Amino acid sequence: MKTLKLLSAFILGSIFLTSCVAEVVVEEDVFIEEPAITLNELLSTYEIWYVDIERTQGNGEIPFLQKAFTVSFKNGTFYANNNLVGIGNNGNGFGLDVGYYNTFRMEVDISHDIDGTYSLNVTQFGNNEIRLYDNVTNTSYYLIGYQRNTFDYDKVFYDNIHYFLHEYVTWEKVYTSDFGALNEFDNENYLQFLYYGSGDNFRSSEDVNVSNINDIYYDYDGYYQVNDVPNNFYMKNLTLDYDYLGNEYFELTVINDSKIELLHHASGTIYEFVGRGYLQFKSSKDGKPSQNNKKRLKKADFMKLTK
**Cβ proximity of 245 and 236 under 8 Å:** no
Q: Residues 66, 67, 69, CA angle at the centre, nearest 5°?
A: 95
Tens digit of each residue's pLDDT, the chain (307 residues)? 434 333 344 444 444 434 444 444 445 554 444 457 799 999 999 999 999 999 999 989 999 999 999 999 999 999 999 999 999 999 999 999 999 999 999 999 999 999 999 999 999 988 899 999 999 999 999 999 999 999 999 999 999 998 999 999 999 999 999 999 999 999 999 999 987 555 568 999 999 999 999 999 999 999 999 999 999 999 999 999 997 778 999 999 999 999 999 999 999 999 999 999 999 887 555 545 544 444 434 434 433 444 4
Domain locations in the chain as residue ranges: 39-152, 161-305
CATH number listed for the domain at residues 39-152: 2.40.128.280
Q: Using a cut of 0.75, tell me whether the model's pTM lies above it.
A: yes
Q: Residues 188, 226, 140, CA angle at the centre, nearest 5°?
A: 135
d(CA 288, CA 233): 21
**Cβ proximity of 175 and 239 under 8 Å:** no
**Cβ proximity of 39 and 108 under 8 Å:** yes
d(CA 96, CA 67): 12
